Amino acid sequence: MLIESTVHLPISLAMFQDLFHAPDREAFLRIAIRWTHFVAGITWIGLLYFFNLVNVPVQKALDPDTKKKVNPDLLGRALWYFRWGAVVTILAGLAYFSMYTLKGDVANANAIGGGHVNLLFVLFAWLTYPIVLFAVEFLLIKKVPALIKDGRIFAVVMFILVAFVTWGLLKFFTGMLTVGGESFASNKTYSIGIGGAYGIVMMLNVWGIIWPNNKRILAATAGTGPAAPPELARQAFIASRTNAWLSLPLLLFMATAHGDWVIFGK
Q: Identify whether 35 is part of a domain.
A: yes
- CA angle 152–245–37, rounded 5-degree value: 160
Residue 53 has pLDDT above 70, yes or no: yes
What's the mean pLDDT when you consider all of the chain? 91
Q: Identify whether 265 is part of a domain.
A: no
Q: What's the whole-number mean pLDDT along residues 193-206?
A: 98
Residue 263 has pLDDT above 70, yes or no: no
pLDDT at position 6 is: 53
Q: Identify whether 18 is part of a domain.
A: no
Residue 111 has pLDDT above 50, yes or no: yes
Strand partners, 179: 182
Q: Give residue-wise pLDDT tens across range 222-259.
A: 889 899 999 999 999 999 999 999 999 999 999 888 76
Q: What is the pTM of this model?
A: 0.89
> Exposed, middle or buried: residue 156 (CB in 10 Å: 0-12, 13-18, 19+)?
exposed
Q: Identify whether 218 is part of a domain.
A: yes
| Domain count across the chain | 1
Angle between helical axes of 187-205 and 119-143 (0-180°, round to 10): 40
Would strands 178-179 and 182-183 be described as parallel, antiparallel, or unpaired?
A: antiparallel
pLDDT at position 258 is: 75
Q: Identify whether 211 is part of a domain.
A: yes
The answer to which of 7-16, 136-145, 173-182, 222-231 has the lowest mean pLDDT is: 7-16
3-class SS of residue 156: helix
Confidence of residue 2 (pLDDT cuts 50, 70, 90): very low
pLDDT at position 188 is: 92
Give the residue numbers spanning the domain of 83. Answer: 25-255
Q: Identify whether 19 is part of a domain.
A: no
Q: What's the whole-number mean pLDDT along residues 205-215?
A: 97
